[in-house]
């Protein structure tokens, strides 16, 4: 993974390990979900999280009788279960509609600037940016909106950007039955911008290349498409 400095005076790439040090800890490419994660339903999860978050606000010293705050625990719980972390539940995985490639289009298809809104699993603060995905058909094509939905599904869980890139690529390979897939993500991490080093001018770039995209010439073609205005 590369950390891209966007300062006007320093447009270069540096190692993210140099920027984050020991704070940046990764694990496997699968999200670490417990086997019993779905033994209770969403409503029970919302109720339990609401109680726990109420405890957090109380420990912080906030007055939970205040009209502005008293409903915050349940609002947060509903947001976590129904929105922010809905991608943890496999029942929410988008179904993929495939079509025969009847027009024999055998070049790469690129969907660029897909919105990335995820959550850093180390500090539970936002990751925000853009994803560019590409594939070369092996006989089937996918509805364009499904590419966006696949990205969104894997964003809606606690993440590290490396894993997010890999998960999207692996799902596209599985759904499209092709190895010729590429995923590039360029995102800003609020754990870097709003705490710790508080660097306001950096973004993180990750890539997951497979099949023909391992060829340098194919990657160069992809980058030309991404850079097109």
| Enzyme catalytic residues | 120-123, 161, 189, 191
- DSSP 8-state assignment for residue 139: S
Secondary structure of 50-82 in HEC code, one letter for each residue: HHHHHHHHHHHCCCCCCCCCCCHHHHHHHHHHH
- What does R_g of the chain's alpha carbons equal in angstroms? 20
Instruction: Tell which phi-psi region holds residue 226, choosing left (phi > 0), alpha (psi between -120 and 50) or beta.
Output: alpha
Tell me the β-bridge partners of 15: 2
Residue 57, burial from CB neighbour count under 10 angstroms (0-12, 13-18, 19+): middle
Residue with tokens 């890539």: 207
Strands 2-5, 13-15: pairing is antiparallel
Q: What is the DSSP string of 166-202?
A: HHHHHHHHHHHT-S-EEEEEEEEEHHHHSSTT--SSE
Cβ neighbours of residue 200 under 8 Å, at least 6 residues apart?
193
């Amino acid at each position: 993974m590369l950390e891209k400095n966007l300062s006007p005076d320093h447009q270069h790439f540096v190692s993210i390990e140099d920027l984050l040090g020991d704070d940046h800890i990764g694990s496997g490419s699968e999200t670490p979900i417990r086997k019993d994660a779905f033994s209770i339903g969403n409503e029970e999860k919302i109720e339990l999280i609401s109680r726990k978050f109420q405890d957090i606000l109380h420990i912080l010293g906030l007055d939970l009788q205040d009209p502005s705050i008293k409903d915050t625990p349940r609002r947060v719980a509903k947001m976590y279960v129904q929105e922010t972390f809905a991608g943890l539940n496999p029942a929410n995985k988008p179904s993929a509609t495939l079509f025969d490639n009847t027009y024999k289009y055998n070049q790469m298809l690129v969907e660029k600037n897909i919105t990335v809104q995820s959550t850093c699993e180390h500090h539970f603060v936002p990751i925000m940016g853009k994803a560019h995905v590409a594939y070369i058909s092996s006989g089937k094509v996918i509805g364009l909106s499904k590419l966006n939905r696949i990205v969104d599904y894997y964003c809606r869980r606690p993440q590290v950007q490396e894993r997010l890139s890999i998960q999207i690529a692996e799902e596209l390979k599985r759904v499209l039955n092709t190895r010729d897939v590429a995923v590039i993500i360029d995102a800003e991490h609020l754990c870097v911008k709003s705490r710790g080093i508080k660097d306001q001018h950096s973004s993180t770039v990750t890539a997951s290349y497979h099949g023909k995209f391992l060829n340098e010439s194919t990657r160069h073609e992809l980058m030309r498409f991404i850079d097109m205005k």
